[in-house]
Structure 1
Amino acid sequence: MGFPNLIKMDLIVKVKEIKGSCPVYKTDDKFTIQDGYKLVSDIPVCMHSLASILPYYNALRKMSPAELGIAGKEEK
């Protein structure tokens, strides 16, 4: 069983910028989605932030970060 065509990787989400105010995050805060589905964080996670990354999360299950144009400098 399983999903052999899905890419299984860790996604590290880092707060780059905050527009306005945010009661949860500060710049450079991070949380991780391990193995493509396990949310891991030492800090509180905002539900709004999860909603904003959902389109990327779904795309990353089939494509690499480089293919989507969102890879870090070390991954290009």
Structure 2
Amino acid sequence: MNLWRIKSVISYVMMNGLQSGENYTWSFKFQRKLSKLLDINFIYLGRKVIVLELFITVQFNLKLYFNKKGG
């Protein structure tokens, strides 16, 4: 079964939007525990498809942990 020839949403999703020919993907992830109660996450995703421009996705997360005290 040649997924490149099937023009459907399912084939697009299965191939992560990549097309036939040269495709490039890259990613960078940085995680750091800043303190006992604070984490930081940075995620950078890039994709270059032969027929389109670059797709860039950036995520930045701060995670704060709360302590529940009491009975």
Q: TM-score range by the shorter chain?
A: under 0.3
Q: TM-score, normalised by structure 2?
A: 0.22
Bigger relative contact order (CA 8 A; separation at least 6): 1
Q: Counting helix residues as a fraction of each chain, which structure ranks higher?
A: 1
Which structure has the larger Rg?
2
